[in-house]
Structure 1
Amino acid sequence: MTIDWDVKDSTLEIRYGQEPIMCLALNECAHITPGPLSIKHIMAWDIVRMPFAQIHDMNSWTRSGKSTGQEIIYLYHQDTRYSMSFKLTLINPWHLELEITTSAAGFLRITWHTPSEELWQGFGEHTHSIRPPAQFDSWVEEGPVGLGWLSGWLKKAPFVPFPKGPYPSYASMPLWLSSAGYSAWFTSFERIRWNLTHTKRQATIWSTMTTLHIITGQTPKDIFSRQFSVLGLPASVPSWALAPWNDSIRGQARATHLAHFLRSHRIPSSVIWIEDWMGSNENRRRFWMRPLKHTVDTELYPHLPQLARTLHEQGFRLLGYFCPEITYGTDLYRQALNDDILVKDSKGEVMAINILGIRHGQIDVTHENAMAWTHRYLLSPALALGFDGWMVDFGEYLPLEAQLADGTSGHISHNRYPLLWQKIHRAFWEQQRPDGNFVFFVRSGWIGSHLLAPVIWGGDSDTDFSEADGLPTVIPEALSAQISGFFYWATDIGGYMTFGLTRPRSRALFLR
């Protein structure tokens, strides 16, 4: 890679060989002074607005003396004290590192000029391919939810899929592949707000500093090979994880019957997943797993160790379910309060995490005792029951107003939370089964999750053909997840959730 600085055109052009791959517009890079933060909670989503009080576009620049493989460009706003610096380090001929900082508290804005035909793919796992013009955030949250048969009629309206458009994601990440011949990613955990047009791309990083990595290659295969030599390759999963899995709910007798049915009909299956092992509720409107008490429901599963032994004898592995939320009033919640392990606000009060109208506490994964506490009270008892893994769910619900044990705010650590939550489970299983004979799977993620979570799951897709969150969204989801490093990815055959106007799954949907 080479760097061409054009003072007249105010551009910093990065080339690979003779071809330009990235053109940074220096005079459209800016220091931003943010205004007051506004957070509106809508069900599982936060609508976050922050007006910009002042935007200081850079209007002059100087170049430092170039050393071997490194140089610094200083950008200034001549009428104020604000400035930015670009430190460019050529790690090797195909890997450029660009450290960007601003001189005062505030946000950074980076602007690219691109040909209209240049396409960007990736940005984590997304149910819809991102096409300019597009505005979205790199921010871990619930994915989109469709409106059943209405989605086809309302898909061009800004409020469909409900409630934030098509781009919210459980595993949104600031990493993309460009048709110009490179991949790139930001290392920031803070929110990044993107504004993509056909010939201009802008990223506003809600931080005073960030690092941008740029990887080049002759082909996408070259780029991916180099990208993951930097980010790291995931460990292999055990062979049984690659066969079909079956979900079983509503108790031990049903799980036993399902296992017998699968084997007697010679249906390939390696896993029985009892996601409601800690309890569930059902009425005419819905089935749901509550309360989240993280201990076995002995009415549904009166002899769980025996079930595990029976399934193992039949060649199945047994998976369960965990999340970092603990239902208010349960024994485990009282234990967590006593051990001071739950997320708090700035006043030191335990924060309430509302999911489906039920109050929960959330494990503070930055607490110095969080890993040992989770291993002791959640994971070790489950392993003793006979589980071979579980779903490591959620990770998207850390409030921005949280003040964590390590001194960071919810804003700083929101996107970091899934990594710390997954790290707790990775450490447990590597300690208990160093041979790798385990699987846990997740739905949330950030850059680095591919090294921690053996498998990522596509999330709560609808059980229909809707274009908002049904079967047509599965292929974009799989492809964007792969670009972002989730090599072992899966979705539920027939979808997962029948919600609102969603149609129940059909034979045709299963076949497709």
Structure 2
Amino acid sequence: MNLVETKPGFDLTLDGRALLSHRPEAPCIFAGKGKERMDMYRGNFDIEDYVVERIPLTHAEVVGDRILLSDHPGQAPRLALTVDGNGLRFEALDASINRLWLRIPAIADETVWGGGEQMSYFDMRGRRFPLWTSEPGVGRDPTSEITFQANKARAGGDYFNTNYPQPTYLSSQRYALHVETTAYSVFDFRNNDFHEIEIWAIPDQIELFAADSFAEIVTALSTRFGRQPPLPEWIYNGAIIGLKDGENSFSRLAVYREAGVRISGLWCEDWVGLRNTSFGARLFWDWQANEARYPGLRQKIAELNDDGIRFLGYVNPYLCVDGPLFKIAEAEGYFATDGEGRTALVDFGEFDCGVIDFTNPAASEWFAEEIIGKRMLDYGLSGWMADFGEYLPIDVHLANSVDAKLMHNQWPTLWAEVNAKAVAGRGKSGDALFFMRAGFTGVQKHCPLLWGGDQSVDFSRHDGLVTVICGALSSGLVGNAYHHSDIGGYTSLFGNVRTPELLMRWAEMAAFTPVMRSHEGNRPRDNLQIDQEAEVLEHFARMTRIYVHLAPYLKTLSEAAASTGLPVQRPLFLQYQDDRATYTIQDSYLYGADMLVAPVWQAAQTRREVYLPKGDNWIHVWTGRAYGGGETVEIDAPLGHPPVFYRAESAHAALFKGINTI
């Protein structure tokens, strides 16, 4: 980092890259005051800001490594910046300031990526992205009928809504920027000359990373945020089969096995029991086995383990008022409270819950030990979905006395930490596997696996299959090596149901991701399930065999992720940074360094155009035909043969060639 005074301004560069450039007539920092309005309804937020003051801090005085900023010469400084290594520390000298805007120099053809897990747009340039963990919405395309219908119930979304935001971006100018704050913030990439960062607080600091290669930057970011452990050894045995059919789940699992499906785990969300609501069958949010729905479950789990199949369940940080654990937690004061000091109750749609206050160390310890430790891990579970990290209400009172609006974004990280602590407490790190959809800065070092959230059961551009590719690529750049999704999608509303084609295409993609896992969706009885149609089941079985065939390669990627932080699913530019044609591709990806996967994500499509990066020759898996790099090819892609290529010079070429024999 280099700070140069250019009276009457300054320039701040990182390895020669301009990061801040200030002149009185073109200030790079604005400060002010705002009064926000935030309404939450079942994880969806309506947010707007009334800006009382936005003042350009035109006057800068450089004193050593410190910059003092004020409105005009002779006025008392309102803000101080201190250069600290490769970062900037912020100090508000005017206590009334609660808004900050920074302008980072940009160039016309620059590309930016990151922002946590973005589902609609991988290249963020030209758009504005609020960074606030929330439900993504039932429908993220305001022009769609599903979004229109969902908005009637305040449940719709937009392109920027995400379970996992993070104020970190990576630029094609080969630097990354991270804002260390939990406050609501915005990345605005709409201006040709600058990127504007808006923060509804004074951040602790801005951190900067630069290197000659994108891979080095990703490694640096994963070092900063924390590395995930390697995938558990048992995961390589096949798919995790998601069934929520009570004790019938075991007989249905047998059907999968008889069909030749390779299976690593049985995942039963409903291990805790069900309640019926207008949204569909919902879980009973009291986290212990319901042996009325699953008789003799503990013994069944042991028998599955003997057969090499792990059992997984579900948990979230809420407890329903009509469950026995609620009374225990309330008696100990483990819940967040309302303005009167009573347990704050949250309406989840026809049932109320209290939220465990993870800022209370005793509450975190109780949940990790008594619920996840004793009632889950000791019972025999090897993994679970750790859900609803984005749901902290913004009006509750917390034990640490920090405003819930500032804790809301941090909540997924605290939730992940509780889960990781429970796993470590039983000596199960690297073996027990929990997965989360919600995230924020720091979740990486606690959560071993992301999942893409609640996609629609369709091929839609902003809600369907293709969005999980974008989610994997964006989140992978900020330190999340492992990503997967619900095979077949999850959300089925307003008459939107699965087709056999959707299930088969989703399974094709999942075979080339770190984890294969199926899901029955929010309305299982309205939607086609894998075991209900012979052709779908046969296709799925073959895809699981391909996944297992590639396990030796996936193990090398898992080891590389642990040592370098590079994700398993990689954007093409991460390996081919000199090929600018790769910079905006978001519907295909590299599986490690040696495979290129271009899933079919549109209905009734049997041919696909695929761009092959410059610098390598590529072999089409299904035909063995060789192609040169730097060109777009059109490939036949019938069901069962998604466009997949491998580098001709790969050390794993023999393994890849064998895919076509399965």
Q: Do the structures match in fold with TM over 0.5?
A: yes
Deviation string 1:70-123 (CA, Å, 9 cap, x unpaired) is x11111112864511121123xxxxx1111222123222212231121121010
In structure 2, the CA distance between the partners of 1:174 and 1:151, relative to structure 1 (3 Å rule), is: same
Aligned to 1:115: 107
Q: TM-score normalized by structure 1? A: 0.90
User: What letter is aligned with 1:304?
Assistant: L
Contact 2:12 2:20 in 1 (8 A): yes
> Does residue 98 in structure 1 map to residue 92 in structure 2?
no
Structure with more strand by fraction: 1
CA distance in 2, matches of 1:508, 1:221: 33
User: What letter is aligned with 1:63?
Assistant: V
Contact 1:426 1:453 in 2 (8 A): yes
Alignment of 1:104-183 (within 5 A): 104-105=95-96, 106-129=98-121, 131-146=124-139, 151=144, 163-183=156-176
Aligned to 1:207: 201
Report how far residue 25 of structure 1 moved.
4.5
In structure 2, the CA distance between the partners of 1:274 and 1:24, relative to structure 1 (3 Å rule), is: farther
> Does residue 251 in structure 1 map to residue 246 in structure 2?
yes
- Sequence identity (%): 22
CA distance in 2, matches of 1:62, 1:264: 75
Larger CA deviation: 473-482 vs 162-171: 162-171
Question: What SS is found at the alignment partner of 1:270?
Answer: strand
Aligned to 1:432: 426
In structure 2, the CA distance between the partners of 1:389 and 1:154, relative to structure 1 (3 Å rule), is: closer
CA distance in 1, matches of 2:199, 2:492: 36
Aligned to 1:57: 56
Deviation string 1:148-189 (CA, Å, 9 cap, x unpaired) is 99628989xx99x96342111111000111011111211111
CA distance in 1, matches of 2:488, 2:92: 48
Larger CA deviation: 353-362 vs 141-150: 141-150
User: What letter is aligned with 2:407?
Assistant: S
Aligned to 1:366: 359
CA distance in 2, matches of 1:153, 1:297: 35
Alignment of 1:222-261 (within 5 A): 222-242=216-236, 243-254=238-249, 256-261=250-255
Contact 2:383 2:433 in 1 (8 A): yes
Question: 4+ residue stretches of structure 1 with deviation over 6 A?
Answer: 147-150, 152-155
Aligned to 2:326: 333
| Aligned partner of 2:82 among 80, 87, 90 | 87
User: What letter is aligned with 1:468?
Assistant: H
Question: What SS is found at the alignment partner of 2:205?
Answer: strand
Report how far residue 465 of structure 1 moved.
0.7
In structure 2, the CA distance between the partners of 1:372 and 1:222, relative to structure 1 (3 Å rule), is: closer
Contact 1:151 1:467 in 2 (8 A): no
Contact 2:141 2:147 in 1 (8 A): no
Question: What SS is found at the alignment partner of 1:190?
Answer: coil
In structure 2, the CA distance between the partners of 1:41 and 1:357, relative to structure 1 (3 Å rule), is: farther
Aligned to 1:277: 271
Question: What SS is found at the alignment partner of 1:397?
Answer: coil
Alignment of 1:368-407 (within 5 A): 368-379=361-372, 380-407=374-401
Deviation string 1:212-270 (CA, Å, 9 cap, x unpaired) is 1111111111211222233332221212234421101111232x123322333331120
In structure 2, the CA distance between the partners of 1:376 and 1:220, relative to structure 1 (3 Å rule), is: closer
User: What letter is aligned with 1:54?
Assistant: E
Unaligned runs of 5+ in 1: 66-70, 91-95
In structure 2, the CA distance between the partners of 1:4 and 1:152, relative to structure 1 (3 Å rule), is: farther
Q: TM-score normalized by structure 2? A: 0.70
Report how far residue 195 of structure 1 moved.
2.6
Report how far residue 278 of structure 1 moved.
0.8
Larger CA deviation: 139-148 vs 465-474: 139-148
Contact 1:25 1:111 in 2 (8 A): no
Aligned to 1:414: 408
| Aligned partner of 1:195 among 188, 194, 205 | 188
> Does residue 298 in structure 1 map to residue 291 in structure 2?
yes
CA distance in 2, matches of 1:148, 1:99: 38
CA distance in 2, matches of 1:149, 1:444: 23
> Does residue 22 in structure 1 map to residue 19 in structure 2?
yes
CA distance in 1, matches of 2:321, 2:76: 50
CA distance in 2, matches of 1:365, 1:269: 35
User: What letter is aligned with 1:86?
Assistant: L
Question: What SS is found at the alignment partner of 1:403?
Answer: coil
In structure 2, the CA distance between the partners of 1:397 and 1:292, relative to structure 1 (3 Å rule), is: same
Contact 2:33 2:52 in 1 (8 A): yes
Larger CA deviation: 490-499 vs 288-297: 288-297
CA distance in 2, matches of 1:321, 1:313: 22
- Aligned residues between the structures: 494
Larger CA deviation: 184-193 vs 426-435: 426-435
In structure 2, the CA distance between the partners of 1:501 and 1:434, relative to structure 1 (3 Å rule), is: closer
Contact 1:252 1:307 in 2 (8 A): no
Alignment of 1:444-483 (within 5 A): 444-483=438-477
Contact 1:85 1:100 in 2 (8 A): yes
CA distance in 1, matches of 2:188, 2:20: 16
Aligned to 1:68: none
Q: CA RMSD in A?
A: 2.6
CA distance in 1, matches of 2:279, 2:305: 31
In structure 2, the CA distance between the partners of 1:211 and 1:501, relative to structure 1 (3 Å rule), is: farther
Contact 1:148 1:500 in 2 (8 A): no
CA distance in 2, matches of 1:282, 1:441: 25
Contact 2:139 2:158 in 1 (8 A): no
Question: What SS is found at the alignment partner of 1:334?
Answer: helix
Larger CA deviation: 184-193 vs 203-212: 203-212
In structure 2, the CA distance between the partners of 1:142 and 1:11, relative to structure 1 (3 Å rule), is: farther
| Aligned partner of 2:66 among 72, 76, 89 | 72
In structure 2, the CA distance between the partners of 1:258 and 1:122, relative to structure 1 (3 Å rule), is: same
In structure 2, the CA distance between the partners of 1:170 and 1:99, relative to structure 1 (3 Å rule), is: same
User: What letter is aligned with 1:39?
Assistant: M
In structure 2, the CA distance between the partners of 1:347 and 1:220, relative to structure 1 (3 Å rule), is: same
